[in-house]
Amino acid sequence: MIESLENQKVKYLSKLNTAKYRKKEKRFLIEGKHLVDEARKLGLLEEAFSLDYKDGYTQVSKAVMQKISNTDTVVTEIGLCKMIEKSDLSDHILILDAIQDPGNMGALMRSACAFGYKTIILGNGCVDIYNDKVIRSSQGAIFKINFINANLNEFIPTLKDYKIYGTDVINGEELDNVKNSFKLGIVLGNEGNGISPEVKEIIKENIYIPMDNTESLNVGVAGGIIMYKLRG
């Protein structure tokens, strides 16, 4: 049982609550039994920590658990996972331009996982996907998607075999009139500013969701609707 806050492993784990250290070590923490069980089932768990003594876990004290946790409430289980990044693309891909809200990012992951978008391209300005709030809101979807960090201005032009759609209420085609494609990419933009002008310039076609009584939808909601309609 680990009880000391000065334990080297405890210090290491607590450092993983910073994006810079996560990136350096290529590891991240997950909190809660559901996520730990999911990561273990998929073979992504390196080590698990628990307040209770049980097989497959390193037991830690409540003080240690609070030290390595990034939430205000005490969790009973925490897992250590290794980041895995592959370069292969699925037939349907989601391309995100500066999505900054952790809740939106997590919601988009869940929809992508549900509707066959097995690759997500993360453009500049996106929230760190290993942020604890993103992980929690993804509800395990983060383990089932391939993430690629890219400069969208350079990456999108390489997708020669893909039909790429941006999202634009003014210049877009109504979603119900858009046909699905075998290879398809959907670009979603920043919560406040939409798709950046630089990225807009390289997107030839856009779509929009017709709405009544409101001007816009949350990007997490809009993305889910589009991916459902054009699911892989």
pLDDT digits (tens, 9 = 90+) for 91-139: 999 999 999 999 999 999 999 999 999 999 999 999 999 999 999 999 9
Cβ neighbours of residue 118 closer than 8 Å, sequence gap 6 or more: 90, 92, 112, 144, 145, 146, 232
With a pLDDT cut of 90, the percent of the chain lying above it is 90
| Residue 49 main-chain phi, psi, to 5 deg | -125, 140
232 pLDDT band, cuts 50/70/90, is confident
Cβ neighbours of residue 60 closer than 8 Å, sequence gap 6 or more: 1, 2, 3, 10, 49, 50, 51, 68
Report the alpha-carbon distance of residue 188 to residue 19 in Å, rounded: 23
32 sits in the region (left: phi over 0; alpha: psi -120 to 50; else beta) called left
Report the alpha-carbon distance of residue 79 to residue 220 in Å, rounded: 27
pLDDT of residue 87: 82
Whether 76 and 52 have beta carbons less than 8 Å apart is answered as: yes
Report the alpha-carbon distance of residue 184 to residue 163 in Å, rounded: 5
Helices (H), 42-101: 62-68
208 pLDDT band, cuts 50/70/90, is very high
Asked if pLDDT for residue 169 goes beyond 80, the answer is: no
23 pLDDT band, cuts 50/70/90, is very high
Instruction: Give the mean pLDDT of 157-171.
Output: 92
Domains and CATH numbers, the chain: 8-82 (3.30.1330.30), 92-229 (3.40.1280.10)
182 pLDDT band, cuts 50/70/90, is very high
